[in-house]
């Protein structure tokens, strides 16, 4: 971690010492800007009981630019597309250098608890969520069972 900016070193240490509840973010041994993330599906959500793998990458100009994050585990969610990309304001136009990796991960976890079909990335999922929410929730639970439970 010698050539990494101090900010990344500090955040990495804090994530290891005091991880957010239900989330582990481990820097890759080869590239300390790349994190392997495992996020537990929040209690009371259709994703409860699932363990979701994500990748998080800190760009060269972090913290001036947001990290790029995507789900590696398939998930049925209106704000996450088939490629695992996430529609979340703080990963785009609402990013601020005051935010940290921890904040980003907690925000993604909160998005699992409160899907927002009015700002979708997966339009087909969002349309089902809006028109037949119970069916969408059942599909989200089923995908969680199939793809996120060992």
Choose the catalytic residue: 86, 87, 121, 128: 87
DSSP state of 102: H
Return d(Cα 23, Cα 105) in angstroms, integer: 8
Query: pTM here?
Result: 0.94
pLDDT tens per residue, range 80-90: 999 999 999 99
Annotation marks residue 87 as catalytic: yes
E strand or H helix that includes residue 137: helix 133-147
- Residues listed for the chain: 150
In CATH, 6-147 is 3.10.110.10: yes
pLDDT tens per residue, range 96-132: 999 999 999 999 999 999 999 999 999 999 999 999 9
Domain ranges for the chain, please list them. Answer: 6-147
First to last CA, the chain: 33
Per-residue pLDDT averaged across 57-85, rounded?
97
């Amino acid at each position: 971690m010698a050539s990494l900016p101090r900010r990344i070193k500090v955040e990495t240490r804090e994530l290891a010492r005091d991880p957010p509840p239900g989330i582990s973010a481990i820097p890759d041994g080869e590239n300390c800007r790349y994190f392997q993330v495992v996020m537990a599906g929040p209690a009371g959500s259709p994703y409860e009981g699932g363990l979701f793998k994500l990748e998080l990458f800190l760009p060269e100009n972090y913290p001036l630019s947001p990290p790029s994050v995507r789900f590696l585990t398939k998930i049925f969610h209106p704000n996450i597309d088939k490629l695992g990309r996430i529609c979340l304001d703080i990963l785009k136009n609402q990013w601020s250098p005051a935010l940290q990796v921890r904040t980003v991960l907690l925000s993604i976890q909160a998005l699992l608890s409160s899907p927002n079909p009015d700002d979708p990335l997966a339009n087909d999922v969002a349309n089902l969520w809006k028109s037949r929410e119970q069916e969408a929730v059942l599909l989200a639970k089923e995908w969680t069972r199939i793809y996120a439970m060992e």
